[in-house]
């Protein structure tokens, strides 16, 4: 087995890595890499370092590091050969996400003496619970909002809402623009809560196709806090997905230790569908 490190993948290698991820997803029932890490395979602007494992010149494993955490995956027919462990060491023994928290990842974590530092829940809303959600009026989409500094306003609210968050906070305009530079992005699916001073909050939605929608990001700026605006903002997005985008299932991601948010979602009818965990060395 040979592991090679790349600061930027060629088109051929990026395509091979994506194909491997598709095979893993079909086998495991969960995507092995998150959206940002998948984008990083062929977008050097994200600055990811990649580690590819080859056996008999065949790609059998993929690892990537974004400067804070890593993600890795191994081809199903090449598991139990030490490839995952070798990739983890090549990545620098950094905190690493395991999507789905599947038995194979649990076994690797145990063998390496790792512990779970974060749990990210995937919650879903379907059926009667989805049908019964009532929405709020008065929101305006990014496509409709005419303020010349709309992007700056949106960025300010995002950074106020997520000043504590390792991935979503501390953005600049370039980072916000990059996040919109995806095949699925639609300005009709970014809803703003506004007043005479501009944007107070936003609900960014994602449509995956095949009847699946996602509450991608919900954020309230400082001047919107403590006014009971989070719940109607959340409901408006759900209703938009159901009535305008005709989805049959809505998912969201939430930190396991954010119990107020988990409880609020449960009260709307969301249920836990899966979890992702961040493994790290014991401290």
State the pLDDT at residue 108. 94
- Gap between the Cα atoms of 47 and 59, Å rounded: 22
Report the first-to-last Cα separation within the chain, whole angstroms: 31
| Token representation of residue 185 | 């992005």
| Token representation of residue 120 | 């990210």
- Gap between the Cα atoms of 153 and 197, Å rounded: 10
C-beta separation of 203 from 218 below 8 A: yes
Identify the CATH homologous superfamily for domain 2-112.
Gcn5-related N-acetyltransferase (GNAT) (3.40.630.30)
Annotated binding site: 35, 72-74, 167, 206, 214, 218-220, 225-231, 253, 258-263
Half-sphere exposure of 167 (CA within 13 A, CB side): 13
| Domains 2-112 and 123-274 alike in fold | yes
Domain spans in the chain, listed from the N-terminal domain onward: 2-112, 123-274
pLDDT tens digits for 7-61? 999 999 999 999 999 999 999 999 999 999 999 999 999 999 999 999 999 999 9
| 44: helix, strand or coil | helix
Q: What are phi and psi of 69, to 5 degrees?
A: -145, 170
pLDDT tens digits for 111-160? 999 999 999 999 999 999 999 999 888 899 999 999 999 999 999 999 99
* The architecture CATH gives domain 123-274: 3-Layer(aba) Sandwich (3.40)
This model's pTM is above 0.85: yes
The strand pair at 2-6 and 212-220 is best described as unpaired
The dihedral built from the CA positions of residue 70, 64, 54 and 92, taken in this order, carries a sign that is negative
Annotated binding site for acetyl-CoA: 72-74, 218-220, 225-231, 258-263
């Amino acid at each position: 087995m040979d592991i090679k490190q790349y600061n930027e993948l060629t088109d051929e290698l990026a395509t091979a890595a994506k194909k491997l991820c598709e095979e893993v997803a079909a086998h495991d029932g969960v995507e092995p890499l998150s959206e940002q890490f998948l984008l990083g395979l062929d977008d050097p602007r994200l600055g990811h370092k990649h580690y590819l494992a080859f056996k008999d010149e065949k790609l059998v494993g993929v690892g990537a590091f974004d400067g804070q955490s890593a993600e890795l995956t191994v081809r199903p027919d090449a598991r139990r050969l030490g490839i995952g462990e070798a990739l983890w060491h090549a990545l620098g023994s950094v905190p690493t996400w395991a999507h789905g928290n599947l038995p194979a990842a649990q076994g690797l974590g145990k063998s390496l003496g790792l512990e779970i530092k974060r749990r990210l829940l995937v919650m879903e809303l379907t059926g009667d619970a989805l049908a019964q959600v009532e929405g709020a009026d008065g929101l305006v989409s990014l496509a409709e909002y005419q303020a010349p500094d709309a992007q700056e306003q949106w960025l300010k609210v995002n950074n106020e809402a997520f000043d504590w968050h390792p991935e979503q906070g501390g953005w600049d305009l370039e980072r916000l623009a990059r996040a919109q530079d995806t095949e699925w992005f639609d300005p009709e699916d970014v809803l703003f809560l506004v007043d005479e001073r501009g944007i107070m909050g936003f609900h960014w939605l994602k449509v995956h196709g095949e009847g699946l929608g996602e509450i991608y990001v919900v954020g309230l700026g400082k001047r919107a806090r403590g006014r009971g605006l989070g719940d109607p903002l959340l409901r408006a997005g759900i209703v938009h997905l159901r009535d305008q985008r005709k989805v049959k299932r809505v998912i969201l991601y939430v930190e396991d230790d954010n119990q107020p948010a988990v409880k609020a979602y449960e009260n709307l009818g969301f249920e836990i569908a899966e979890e992702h965990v961040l493994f790290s060395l014991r401290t």
